[in-house]
Amino acid sequence: KGIDWDLVTEYDRKIEDDLQKQLSKIYPRHKFIGEESTAEKRCLPKLTDDPTWIIDPIDGTTNFVHRFPHTCISLALLINKKIEIGMVYNPLMRQFFSAKKQKGAFLNGHPIKTSDITDLSQTLVAMEPWIAKDSNYLVTVYSRMHALIQGTHGIRSLGTAALTLCYVAMGAIEAYHIESIDAWDVAAGKLIIEEAGGIVLDTAGGELDLMTPRVIAACNHQIADQLIELFKIADSKAIDKNLK
């Protein structure tokens, strides 16, 4: 059988609608930014200081339709544009990641923390090269991937940003890089990593813009700094290739 994408979209909408309805009963004044509702409006809502829930009803949609078990529901609460609560649930593997600002990060109720590795050559790093569509940007992505293959213990690509961020938080991988994604892919996982002792930055090393995220997530500052420097070198090589 082929993939019924209309049915997948129906699942997405139902999960998002159900979450919004249940949360609205408890918090009637709260706002919502969701993947499906944003797609229907065809414009990204402006993030305000009002309490706002950011929802990804199915992160890892392609994984979901192929029954590859790395897929999840991601939910974050922002107040004054700051992430206060983050939750990521993988129903297939029964993994529930959660974090509350200044209260720590947890997997199924047990505390988690990031890896203590500080040498990039010893790290396992995840990235998503399939995101790149533009031919020039594709050169950049594969230049970075080549640099990671040479400069780390190994690389992985799991097809779900929210869940991969949680794997950084639990110490299963040391870092994660992804661009061309949206706030609902990142919001919950960002807080979970930070509460587990890690760091989430913009690819250039500055503060992450949640509404247009370009992500370097790492177990600590040392690994983040080494990744940023590695990508600077890789990007300069990519520019040279694009000019030829």
How many Å apart are CA 244 and CA 20, to the nearest integer?
Answer: 51
Question: 89 and 132: one domain?
Answer: no
Question: 96 and 151: one domain?
Answer: no
Query: Does the annotation mark 61 as catalytic?
Result: yes
Kindly write down the DSSP assignment for every residue of the chain, as one continuous string. ----HHHHHHHHHHHHHHHHHHHHHH-TT-EEEEHHHHHHHTSPPPP-SS-EEEEEEEESHHHHHTT-S--EEEEEEEETTEEEEEEEEETTTTEEEEEETTS-EEETTEE--------GGG-EEEE-GGG--SHHHHHHHHHHHHHHHHHSSEEE--S-HHHHHHHHHTTSSSEEEE-S--HHHHHHHHHHHHHTT-EEEETTSS---TTS--EEEESSHHHHHHHHHHHHHHHHHHHHHHH-
pLDDT at residue number 243: 47
Confidence (pTM): 0.92
Query: Does the annotation mark 119 as catalytic?
Result: no
Q: Contact at 8 Å (CB) between 114 and 198? A: yes
Query: Does the annotation mark 58 as catalytic?
Result: yes
How many Å apart are CA 196 and CA 41, to the nearest integer?
Answer: 35
Query: Does the annotation mark 52 as catalytic?
Result: no
- Which position among 52, 61, 123, 164 bears the catalytic label? 61
Q: How many domains does the chain have?
A: 2
Mean pLDDT along residues 228-234: 95
- Residues in the annotated binding site: 35, 56, 58-59, 185
The residue from 91, 111, 131 where one domain ends is: 111
Q: Which residues of 82-114 are buried (b: 16+ CB within 10 A; e: fewer)?
A: ebbbbbbbbeeeebbbbbbeeeebbbeeeebeb
pLDDT at residue 2 greater than cutoff 60: no
Write the pLDDT tens digit of every residue in 165-222: 999 999 999 999 998 889 999 999 999 999 999 999 999 999 999 998 999 999 999 9
The residue from 111, 141, 174 where one domain ends is: 111
Question: 29 and 88: one domain?
Answer: yes
- Residues in the annotated binding site for Mg(2+): 35, 56, 58-59, 185
Query: Does the annotation mark 35 as catalytic?
Result: yes
Assign 40 a pLDDT band (cuts: 50, 70, 90): confident
Question: 21 and 103: one domain?
Answer: yes
* Domain annotation covers residue 3: no
The residue from 111, 144, 179 where one domain ends is: 111
Question: 128 and 212: one domain?
Answer: yes
The first and second tokens of residue 198, run together, are: 């890690």
Question: 58 and 164: one domain?
Answer: no
pLDDT at residue number 132: 64
Question: 91 and 152: one domain?
Answer: no
Question: 205 and 139: one domain?
Answer: yes
CATH of the domain at 214: 3.40.190.80
- Which position among 58, 178, 192, 216 bears the catalytic label? 58
pLDDT at residue number 1: 47
- Domain residues for 152? 120-241
Looking at the chain, the whole-number percentage of residues with pLDDT higher than 90 is 76
Mean pLDDT along residues 227-237: 93
* Domain annotation covers residue 60: yes
Average pLDDT, whole number, for the chain?
92
- Which position among 36, 56, 174, 182 bears the catalytic label? 56
- Which position among 15, 16, 33, 35 bears the catalytic label? 35
Write the pLDDT tens digit of every residue in 9-20: 788 899 999 999
Question: 137 and 235: one domain?
Answer: yes
